[in-house]
Structure 1
Amino acid sequence: MPSFDIVSKVEMQEVDNAVNQAVKEIAQRYDFKGSKSEITQERETIKILADDDYKLKAVVDVLQSKFIKRGLSLKAIQYGKVEPASGGMVRQLITIQQGISKEKGKEIIAVIKESKIKVQGQIQDDQVRVTGKNRDDLQQTIQLLKGKDLGVEMQFVNFRE
């Protein structure tokens, strides 16, 4: 029976490259001269430290532009709340989302069921497997999901006959 998997994976090397490029740009930009703005990355979290909310927003904009240039989706980024840090600075944690959460998996399956396409979806850990009787239904499902904005970056892998 034909099937494919829906996953949400982010290339961490590209994230690392985007963060490094953003750090370099912040170090060279005129509007950041004399500020203590910084970006640090630890595995799947990015910590941004800035002088004030305005500088924080500017740092996030720089980071987002680097993500886009490296071909990374902004849907894979989850922003934490802005917190006060020591010395009158502000801090924000950004999490890189890997995998599809159970809630998003249920949302994806609900969209598939609503479409009345003759396929079944099931959640497997951090991915969703879709099976059907013929490959045309599976391809139709992929097109349906590409057209929907579910707030999560999706890749369609492991297509099997």
Structure 2
Amino acid sequence: MPSFDIVSEVDKHQLTNAVDQVNRTVANRFDFKGVDAQVEMNGFDLTVRAEADIQVTQMVDMLRAALIKCSIDPLAMTVGEPEQSGKQIKVAVTLKNGLEKELSKKIVKLIKDEKLKVQASIQGEQVRVTGKKRDDLQQVIAMLKGKELDQPLQFTNFRD
């Protein structure tokens, strides 16, 4: 029986490349000369820090552009509120990796509302969709690509 998985993953290697790009750009830009500004990475949690509020905003925009260049959807990025910490301002940026329970349930409900002959089941941080016909599975993929969900989706493990 044909099946595929719906996941939401961020490639760790590409994320590291994007963070390195931003740090290199900050080191070379004239308006950041002599400023202690940097993007620090701890897993999928990033910390953007600089001396001024506008610099932090610029760095978050640079990070968003670098993520797009590295094929990471910026929808996966959640930007926190700026915090004053001594002479520096910090912003926490989190990248969503894996489907949350509520979003998984929403995806399953969307699939069932289409009344296609497929079954959707939640398996941890992914949703598996199975059906008898390959065309039904392709309709599910097309339908989900057309929906505005608050997280990027990838369709993996397609089997006939």
CA RMSD after TM alignment: 1.2
Residue of structure 1 equivalent to 2:105: 106
**Structure 1, residues 55-90: CA drift from partner, whole Å, max 9, x if none?**
111000111111111111112212222222122x21
Residue of structure 2 equivalent to 1:50: 50
Give the Cα–Cα distance (whole angstroms) in 2 for the partners of residues 15 and 79 of structure 1: 15
Q: Secondary structure, in 3 states, of the residue corresponding to 2:119?
A: strand
Please list every run of 5 or more consecutive structure 1 residues that lacks an aligned counterpart in the other structure. Answer: none
Give the Cα–Cα distance (whole angstroms) in 2 for the partners of residues 11 and 130 of structure 1: 23
Residue of structure 1 equivalent to 2:68: 68
Give the Cα–Cα distance (whole angstroms) in 1 for the partners of residues 157 and 69 of structure 2: 27
Identity %: 42
Give the Cα–Cα distance (whole angstroms) in 2 for the partners of residues 69 and 2 of structure 1: 33
**Aligned residue runs from structure 1 range 6-155, under 5 A:** 6-87=6-87, 89-155=88-154
Q: After the TM superposition, which of the residue ranges 75-84 and 150-159 deviates more from structure 2? A: 75-84
Give the Cα–Cα distance (whole angstroms) in 2 for the partners of residues 72 and 156 of structure 1: 15
Q: CA deviation at 1:93?
A: 1.2
Matched AA of 2:131: G
Q: CA deviation at 1:41?
A: 0.7
Q: Secondary structure, in 3 states, of the residue corresponding to 1:105?
A: helix
Q: Secondary structure, in 3 states, of the residue corresponding to 1:31?
A: helix
State the aligned residue count.
Answer: 160
Give the Cα–Cα distance (whole angstroms) in 2 for the partners of residues 22 and 100 of structure 1: 27
Give the Cα–Cα distance (whole angstroms) in 1 for the partners of residues 112 and 81 of structure 2: 35
Give the Cα–Cα distance (whole angstroms) in 1 for the partners of residues 69 and 3 of structure 2: 32
Give the Cα–Cα distance (whole angstroms) in 2 for the partners of residues 120 and 85 of structure 1: 50
Q: CA deviation at 1:35?
A: 2.1
Give the Cα–Cα distance (whole angstroms) in 1 for the partners of residues 98 and 26 of structure 2: 30
Give the Cα–Cα distance (whole angstroms) in 1 for the partners of residues 14 and 158 of structure 2: 25
Give the Cα–Cα distance (whole angstroms) in 2 for the partners of residues 122 and 42 of structure 1: 32
**Structure 1, residues 74-110: CA drift from partner, whole Å, max 9, x if none?**
12212222222122x2111111221111111011112
Give the Cα–Cα distance (whole angstroms) in 1 for the partners of residues 85 and 114 of structure 2: 48
Matched AA of 2:38: E
